[in-house]
A and B are shown apart, each in its own frame.
Chain A
Amino acid sequence: MPKEAALEGFTPQIGTEVTLEQLVERAFDYRGNVTVIRRDGSSVEGYLFNRNRDVADPFVEMFDKDGHGPLTILYGDIRTIRFTGKDTAAGNSYAAWLRAKEAAKKASVPPAADA
């Protein structure tokens, strides 16, 4: 199972690489769209925002890629989950902003004249 930063593009096989419960937890924590493949072969692409294992029939909830929902899918109906969308929490925008600001500061200071 790859670390969170490397989940984008991950297409796991349940049973060999990861358990269903582990996979759902990762999908729940992932801030990008995923594709849930059902056992009947159908699929839903969208944002998985909730899961509940503490009920008789554990389920996940999603908004699809057009924003429709929430859709409820039972754990028992899931064959696998693919991390198909961009991870919107990945990246390092603060560091990038600081670098850009530092570069701008340097660019605005005229070079010191030779003595």
Chain B
Amino acid sequence: MSVPFSQMWTVASYVVTQRLRGRRRYPLVLQLEPLFRCNLACAGCGKIQYPAQILRKHLAVEQCVAAVEECGAPMVAIPGGEPLMYPEIGRLVRELVARKRYVYLCTNAILLKEKLQEDVFVPSKFLSFSVHMDGVREDHDEAVCRDGVFDQAVEGIREAVRRGFRVTTNSTLFDGADPLRMRRFFDEMMALGVEGMMVSPGYSYSKAPDQEHFLRRQRAHELFSQMLSSPKRQWRFNQSPLFLQFLMGKQDFECTPWGIPTYNMFGWQRPCYLLQEGYAKTFAELMETTKWDHYGRRSGNDKCRDCMVHCGYEPSAVNHTFTSWRGLRDAAVATLTGRL
């Protein structure tokens, strides 16, 4: 596994502190969406379908920083939209790094090389570019509905690695994904010099154009088992090994919908990054007034039945690691042996 020790230590001490304080619900990662505008229109994305006046708007840096402070999570993911289209992305990242938040800038990397050449960013252990890559060239270009994007992203990754930035990839897998091609993709990404990779099954957004190719739970277990069994020594994943085991069907967790809360121009999104069932004005209001027992598999909510997405289950895996001897043992064994 490839999460740097300092980051792992920050997360571990944060989780233990929350537990010692008796907090039942606490966030691990803030999903900060400064804008919805994007330079792609991917088939599986339900985030960008808005009228023009909404796509033209974005949050002010001060609003973003206030949300980060209010939430208190040690990690901040900046998706969107495409965050490199946010006019003040450099200043926003500088502000968050100065506050020692671990920032994952989730980008399609079309603009990455250009922004790096403009010196918008400075390498830091607190900043990682998380490049959206859904598989080998033909699979990725098909997922993002545009030819040539894979090659642009590879150019961006090479430039970022060359300049000393932390770079990870994030891959969303849909039904029809080929485990053997994905293994070839992992080889390709590691050969580019990325720090680690992240994988997750896609979620069937009700507003996404493609509703036919999302993974159902059993199919997801089969796919991830075929893909991740006998992992190669050189593969590194920038996520909890227990979450990967969960995807393979070797661990069973319940969703932690408050683990990765989302903030955007509408407010604090209820209940999670994927479902959009309303907004709270403050983080405290989100935590106190959301009907959390209406979500997750045990709730019987149809929208949650087949979901295995990282934003609900990776926090469950992390909490399990740092709050139970069994979880700690399983994670340590997977980390030390490289076996999942």
Contacts and interface: CB of A to CB of B under 8 A. Distances in A.
B9 interface: no
A47 B285 CA distance: 23
A: interface residue count bin: 20 to 34
Contacts of B210: 94-95
B56 A50 contact: no
B21 to A, nearest CB: 28
B266 A49 contact: yes
Given A49-B266, A94-B210, A65 B49 contact: no
Contact of B54 (A51, A63, A92, A93): A63
A50 B145 contact: no
B43 A97 contact: yes
Contact of A85 (B51, B209, B289): B51
A69 to B, nearest CB: 9
A95 to B, nearest CB: 8
A91 interface: yes
Contact of B49 (A33, A63, A88, A94): A88
Given A50-B266, A54-B289, A67-B57, A93 B51 contact: no
Contact of A46 (B46, B53, B278): B53
B43 A67 contact: no
B228 to A, nearest CB: 27
Interface residues of B, number: 20
Nearest to A31: B49
Contacts of B266: 49-50, 61, 70
A88 B49 CA distance: 5
Contact of B209 (A47, A49, A93): A93
Given A93-B209, A97-B145, A65 B53 contact: yes
A12 to B, nearest CB: 20
B295 interface: no
Contacts of A85: 51
Interface in B21-64: 41, 43, 46, 49-51, 53-54, 56-57
20 contacts: A47-B50, A47-B53, A49-B54, A51-B278, A52-B278, A61-B266, A63-B53, A63-B54, A64-B53, A65-B53, A67-B53, A67-B56, A70-B266, A91-B209, A93-B41, A94-B43, A94-B210, A95-B210, A98-B142, A101-B142
